[in-house]
Structure 1
Amino acid sequence: MTLFTTAAGTWQLQRFPARSHDTLQAWEAADELLHEIIVTRNDERPLLVNDQWGALLMPFAGLDTASLSDSYVSHLGWRHNLTLNQLPKTLSALSPLDQLPDDRDVVYLKIPKSLSLLEFQLAKIAAELPAGVPIIAAAKSKLLTPAVRELFAKYCDAVEVSLIRRKCRTVNAVVRNTPLDAEHFVSAWQVPELNLTLHHHAGVFARNQLDIGARFMLDNMPPAGAQQVIDLGCGNGVLGIHFARMSPDSDITFVDESFLAIASTHRNIIENLPAEHITQYHTRVDDCLAQTATDSIDLILCNPPFHQEHAVTEHIARQMFRDSRRVLRKNGELWVVANRHLPYYQSLKRLFKSVHQVAQNSKFIILQARG
């Protein structure tokens, strides 16, 4: 279903990339509740935060709208849905580390799953917008935990939480101007057995400890020697960084759809790899491997996600596998670590000539695909 009808209007709205027979819709009840508020106001310069596919953007198309998201795929989704509805593209698309425009008259915020990301966003809004700007937030009721309410109280004044409607709540508040210590939101911890120090921006996966799937892959890495390598869905970059140490002559590109993940990886490369090899390492935000040339890569390392915010889905991994088949050279290899219960072997077998199990334990499996 792609027809999105609310108190503010009707639009075609698709998730991005658009998929045939997609069972996941591109909006939720929290978006509809915010639309009910939008039609009661006369906002001209809104700041939208965490608008996943453009549900919040649609009523503001053509205005001086700024939209902030850590997801590069969401940025593409906004443009896609503006085009789909033949709407003006007068949109300032912002990543989390960009300076916010200080002339916003309201903030509409979808509360994210990550508590650290929410705090960073609220702290940034409080530091870069004038005091008194209204913030109107929404989420499923179960996300509005005491910890979330405390964060709003820390960075905002006049905080009011609505009653539950359609299993969602809204939060009304106003900005309290507070200085931002950006470094406070970057965590750092050690992986002593690999002599690594890993830094993480807010909201990046496995922010406080090494992901157990990644740890299993680190114990079962491909042999050194591949010339052109990609760490796909790199997160903090640990797989590619470890391979770089194993194979110092390799040229490695770190790819993720999260701006904050790529910022974390960039810092981890500088902190953990020798300066004389730094030109061999590249970071890029992308929709899987859309910007990678066909038949150009020898090895891909991949720890694919199976969540997209609150949705559990395998379609991202399948897209990663399809893109990997396209960009790999003849005899190139894709190495995947995944939870044992996920049906990735069958997905890979449909795409590649050979798929082999490299290692397994009680929770994870490592698959090598070639051809």
Structure 2
Amino acid sequence: MTLLTSAAGTWQLQRYPVRSHDTLQAWEAADELLHELIVERDDQRPLLINDQWGALLMPFAGLDVASQSDSYVSHCGWRHNLELNQLPDTLTALAPLESLPDDRDVVYLKIPKSLSLLEFQLAKLAAELPAGTPIFAAAKSKLLTPAVRDLFAQYCETIEVSLIRRKCRTIRAITRSIALDQARFMSSWEVPEFNLTLHHHAGVFARNQLDIGARFMLDNMPPTGAEQVIDLGCGNGVLGLYYARLSPNSEVTFVDESYLAIASTHRNIVSNLPASQLSQYDFHVDDCLAHRASESADLILCNPPFHQEHAVTEHIARQMFRDSRRVLRKNGELWVVANRHLPYYQPLKRLFKSVHQIAQNSKFVIFQARG
């Protein structure tokens, strides 16, 4: 499950964080098709985009390679797999809002699940790289929709789409030169019933409307007064933001593995809370609560994801629960809102002394876990 052998070489490749008996593979056929293109060329300064665990990085280890991803966990995975394979770390790791190096001789791009994120990435390539820079992109065939092809046509030239191989396709193109309108990729909308204005960068979860699970939690918030609060997997930050409004003396930390989510949350805090309170709030990209001190929080709010790009998985939620138990102080509480069909009660019960159902409706349930 961890030995990647392709046209470009052989490496051990693991998902991150490493889990025993992991049934999910750290690469896919689209990565292997890009490896075939890599061996046809002699690229010295590649730019990689959306390389989830380092499958695209491995052939370029030791070169002047840059890699950009919105996922902090992917950034950790790149370093982990370089070390696992005893390869030199010459990588420049980039968050999505950072400027791209303008000396790249090629771009290799895995097409993301989010159409808005793809457009933002193509727009940055067109704005920040020299016109004519070659792009090689790949994804499962079902993801190469007419909308995706239209985006490539808008920001690129000389577009060639391959035939289907192993249920995947590749796209060859070269960049146009188009100025970047950064504001175009920030969406904003009102939530009048909670007196909120929410702003979202491209690719952030629930970018166009309030998530219905989050809405259910907003209607059933924990009691106010907790001193140290964490909004774990915060997304746009709406849970922690609303708690901060209800409990203005609380200190709230917002944590997500998405750089764009944290940037959106910061914007939402500044837009919705008094300037006099802003020093009470912290923002961190992290792998769940890996860098948070033990016994340092009184309340954790969590609307856990059950997708990781295209994979459906419960392991992120379970990691959030384990980290929450470590981070909570004595008598601290974890409040979780989740789809009713997700089997979260038993994992919570194994970790916490008491687990109570606070509220439920036809789609969601809210659990309070303590001890």
> Corresponding residue for 2:350?
350
Q: Secondary structure at the match of 1:235?
A: coil
> Corresponding residue for 2:179?
179
Q: Secondary structure at the match of 1:225?
A: coil
Output the CA distance in 2 between the equivalents of 1:247 and 1:89: 45
> Corresponding residue for 2:126?
126
Output the CA distance in 1 between the equivalents of 2:343 and 2:252: 28
Unmatched segments (≥5 aa) in structure 2: none
Unmatched segments (≥5 aa) in structure 1: none
Question: What is the identity, as a one-letter code, of the residue corresponding to 2:282?
Answer: H
> Corresponding residue for 1:37?
37
Output the CA distance in 2 between the equivalents of 1:22 and 1:11: 17
> Corresponding residue for 1:61?
61
> Corresponding residue for 1:297?
297
Q: Secondary structure at the match of 1:300?
A: strand
Alpha-carbon shift at residue 172 of structure 1 (Å): 0.2
1:228-247 equivalent positions in 2, closer than 5 A: 228-247=228-247
> Corresponding residue for 1:261?
261
1:318-329 equivalent positions in 2, closer than 5 A: 318-329=318-329
> Corresponding residue for 1:167?
167
Output the CA distance in 2 between the equivalents of 1:182 and 1:263: 14
Question: What is the identity, as a one-letter code, of the residue corresponding to 2:72?
Answer: Y
Question: What is the identity, as a one-letter code, of the residue corresponding to 1:20?
Answer: S
1:20-61 Cα distance to aligned partner (Å, 9 max, x none):
000000000000000001000000000000000000000000
Alpha-carbon shift at residue 349 of structure 1 (Å): 0.3
1:320-366 Cα distance to aligned partner (Å, 9 max, x none):
00000000000000000000010100010000000000000000000
1:176-325 equivalent positions in 2, closer than 5 A: 176-325=176-325
Q: Secondary structure at the match of 2:287?
A: coil
Alpha-carbon shift at residue 291 of structure 1 (Å): 1.0
Alpha-carbon shift at residue 126 of structure 1 (Å): 0.3
Output the CA distance in 2 between the equivalents of 1:248 and 1:113: 37
Task: Confirm whether residue 155 of structure 1 aligns to residue 155 of structure 2.
Answer: yes
Q: Secondary structure at the match of 2:24?
A: coil
RMSD: 0.3
> Corresponding residue for 1:89?
89
Output the CA distance in 2 between the equivalents of 1:20 and 1:345: 22
> Corresponding residue for 1:78?
78
Alpha-carbon shift at residue 196 of structure 1 (Å): 0.5
Output the CA distance in 2 between the equivalents of 1:361 and 1:299: 23
Q: Secondary structure at the match of 1:287?
A: coil
Alpha-carbon shift at residue 74 of structure 1 (Å): 0.1
Question: What is the identity, as a one-letter code, of the residue corresponding to 1:270?
Answer: V
Output the CA distance in 2 between the equivalents of 1:275 and 1:116: 31
Output the CA distance in 2 between the equivalents of 1:252 and 1:189: 23
Q: How many residues align structurally?
A: 371
Output the CA distance in 1 between the equivalents of 2:12 and 2:302: 33
Q: Secondary structure at the match of 2:40?
A: coil
Question: What is the identity, as a one-letter code, of the residue corresponding to 1:22?
Answer: D
Question: What is the identity, as a one-letter code, of the residue corresponding to 1:63?
Answer: L
Q: Give the TM-score of the pair, scaled to structure 1.
A: 1.00
Output the CA distance in 2 between the equivalents of 1:168 and 1:117: 20
What's the % identity of the aligned pairs?
82
Question: What is the identity, as a one-letter code, of the residue corresponding to 2:344?
Answer: Y
Output the CA distance in 2 between the equivalents of 1:89 and 1:180: 31
Q: Secondary structure at the match of 1:231?
A: strand
> Corresponding residue for 2:362?
362
Alpha-carbon shift at residue 139 of structure 1 (Å): 0.2
Q: Secondary structure at the match of 1:205?
A: coil
Output the CA distance in 2 between the equivalents of 1:38 and 1:350: 47
> Corresponding residue for 1:52?
52
Output the CA distance in 1 between the equivalents of 2:29 and 2:306: 23
Question: What is the identity, as a one-letter code, of the residue corresponding to 1:171?
Answer: I
Question: What is the identity, as a one-letter code, of the residue corresponding to 2:242?
Answer: H
Alpha-carbon shift at residue 97 of structure 1 (Å): 0.2
Output the CA distance in 2 between the equivalents of 1:76 and 1:182: 27
Output the CA distance in 1 between the equivalents of 2:351 and 2:357: 16
Question: What is the identity, as a one-letter code, of the residue corresponding to 1:56?
Answer: L
Question: What is the identity, as a one-letter code, of the residue corresponding to 1:337?
Answer: V
Q: Give the TM-score of the pair, scaled to structure 2.
A: 1.00
1:252-274 Cα distance to aligned partner (Å, 9 max, x none):
00000000000000000000011
